[in-house]
Amino acid sequence: MDPLGARSQFVEVQNLPTWDQCDGEEEGEASPRDEVDRLDGSCLSPFPFREDINRKIVLFKGDVALLNCTAIVNTSNETLMDKNPISDSIHTHAGPELRDELFKLKGCRTGEAKMTEGFRLAARFIVHTVGPKYKARYRTAAESSLYSCYRNVLQLAKEHAMVSVGVCVISTAKRGYPPEEATHIALRTVRRFLENHGENIETVVFAVSDVEEAVYRKLLPLYYPRSRAEELSSLPLLPADVGNREGEPVVPERQIRITEKPGSLPDDREGSGLGLGLGPVGSHAFARMEGDVDKQRKQVLQRQLSEAAQHKQHERNYNRWLFKARAEDLSDIAALKALYQTGVDMCGRTVMVVVGRNIPVMQIDMEKALLYFIHVMDHITVKEYVMVYFHTLTGEHNHLDTDFLKKLYDIVDAKFKKNLCAFYFVHPTFRSKVSTWFFTTFSVPGMKEKVHHVETLQQLFRCILPEQIDIPPFVLEYDTRVNGSFQPSHSDL
């Protein structure tokens, strides 16, 4: 109760009905009994009936700002000052202190999550995240970014030992994400996180509006079936892509292909790198019908293996690294903000950014850095992409060792090299130009023609529009100080 006996406007989450307390199948939606019997025993759902998980799920039609839980989620834009119904309500109830705190965060990238106090809210914390702008042409990137929003929100909840989290619909109408597609990603990401990492999270509340409630009620049984019968009846309704073991979207180019002769190499070389979700399964000699692996490795050293066999061995080695990268906790490397995806270049190719000054080479585990690079880049490199490396204000302690770069080049999959269209080296020094020349000439043949030294941001903007690349503030300040301010005009672009 509020002072003077007034009833509190806030909602206690422990008083809300959990998903397992709701009716199993709504009238008119249940599949016929004979259909369930036909499916039973012959089909395994990727989202089996789990009463313990259902007890953690709440569907709440109402304002997320009114939930009394450990944290609530705010969906915003990159400035964290978006005007949308959810943000407006949170700011109204939290008070002006929230706006002052958000200024200190200096924005948030798409897919990331940042945390503030709840101030005058009933919730102790607010987790702010930025959903992607949806364009059908870049659907894969939007799916990955939206997955990252939900995943990073829950990761913060886990790291701060949060017991209950109120999750709004992260993709707002302004951002144009199709509601049903966004709901699939939200539900499966939360489900996978609770399965794999949610032992300390007791309640996740999906806070929805009147319109969104219908979509959530329709799709919740697919990912949180309340009985074995509902699990089986929902199975045919699941989309083809239900993500990997973490709920992350799977790029079609990486789906498994089955051939009549498992031991033979397909003629279609585009299949290299397929089946990456298998991890160590099927990588031993018997499963692949390839003979003694140790003997083959010895033959490679003696240059006795064919090019095709060497290609297959390299692919196995890369898959082992990828499997390890997906299993490792790389949050400390991610926190450096040294590698991230931004927009697209003039040709519509994905742009990846590397910030040299953010790599403390002497203080981090470089093997984990290599794993993080593989983990982030694997789904990017299935299509053409470009990389922008900001060498701006790097010191000796930021320079990557040549041996490390050579090891990285040797480990990565063929698609990394094939689909890299350009490498923009921004603000190079004379020493770095010399080092790059030696490295691309003698260590990584085929890379030299892709490397472009860019002295000013104005030159970079002729290839990538300014609004399509997220540039660190210190890089902008340095370029303005050294090269003068630049306001792009239509002729420059």
| Largest Cα–Cα separation, the chain | 87
* 437, 439, 443, 447 alpha-carbon torsion, rounded to 10°: -60
Query: pTM of the predicted model, to two decimals?
Result: 0.52
Distance CA 386, CA 383 (A): 10
Contact 359, 398 (CB under 8 A): yes
Residue 136 has what DSSP assignment? G
> What fold, for 332-483?
Phosphatidylinositol Transfer Protein Sec14p (3.40.525)
305 contacts: CB under 8 Å, gap ≥ 6: 296, 299, 313
Contact 382, 419 (CB under 8 A): yes
Closest residue by Cα to residue 204 from 246, 245, 170, 163: 163
Contact 103, 79 (CB under 8 A): no
Q: Which two tokens stand for residue 146?
A: 């939206």
The CA angle 430-436-437, to the nearest 5 degrees, is 90
CATH code at 11-237:
3.40.220.10
CA 90 to chain centre: 26
Closest residue by Cα to residue 60 from 166, 182, 185, 219: 166
């794999």: which residue's tokens? 196
Q: How many residues does the chain have?
A: 493
Cross-strand bridge partners of residue 420: 385
Rounded alpha-carbon distances, angstroms, from residue 249 to 142, 216, 257, 323:
10, 19, 18, 16
Distance CA 395, CA 356 (A): 9
Q: Which two tokens stand for residue 396?
A: 């000796």
3-state secondary structure of 166: strand
- The CATH 3.40.220.10 portion of the chain extends over 11-237
CA 374 to chain centre: 13
Burial group, residue 114, by CB count within 10 angstroms (0-12, 13-18, 19+): buried
Q: Which two tokens stand for residue 110?
A: 């798409």
Cross-strand bridge partners of residue 73: 127
Contact 128, 88 (CB under 8 A): no
Distance CA 230, CA 219 (A): 12
Distance CA 410, CA 444 (A): 9
Distance CA 468, CA 350 (A): 10
Q: In 10 A of CB 79, how many CB atoms?
A: 13
Rounded alpha-carbon distances, angstroms, from residue 386 to 115, 156, 189, 352, 414:
32, 31, 29, 6, 15
- Quick one: pLDDT at residue 293? 53
- Quick one: pLDDT at residue 299? 55
- Quick one: pLDDT at residue 284? 42
- Quick one: pLDDT at residue 352? 95
Cross-strand bridge partners of residue 117: 125
Distance CA 36, CA 347 (A): 50
3-state DSSP: the chain helix, strand, coil percent, rounded to 5? 45, 15, 40
Contact 412, 318 (CB under 8 A): yes
| pLDDT digits (tens), the chain, 493 positions | 444 444 468 999 999 999 998 876 543 344 444 444 444 444 578 999 999 999 999 999 999 999 999 999 999 999 999 999 999 999 999 999 999 999 999 899 999 999 999 999 999 999 999 999 998 888 888 999 999 999 999 999 999 999 999 999 998 777 889 999 999 999 999 999 999 999 999 999 999 999 999 999 999 999 999 999 999 999 889 988 888 889 998 765 444 444 444 444 444 433 333 333 333 334 444 444 445 555 555 555 555 556 667 777 888 889 889 888 888 888 889 889 999 999 899 998 999 999 999 999 888 888 999 999 999 998 899 899 999 999 999 988 888 878 888 889 889 988 999 999 999 999 999 989 988 888 888 888 778 899 999 999 999 999 999 999 999 999 999 999 998 865 544 444 3
- The CATH 3.40.525.10 portion of the chain extends over 332-483
Q: Which two tokens stand for residue 330?
A: 């790389």
Helix (H) / strand (E) element for 268: namely none
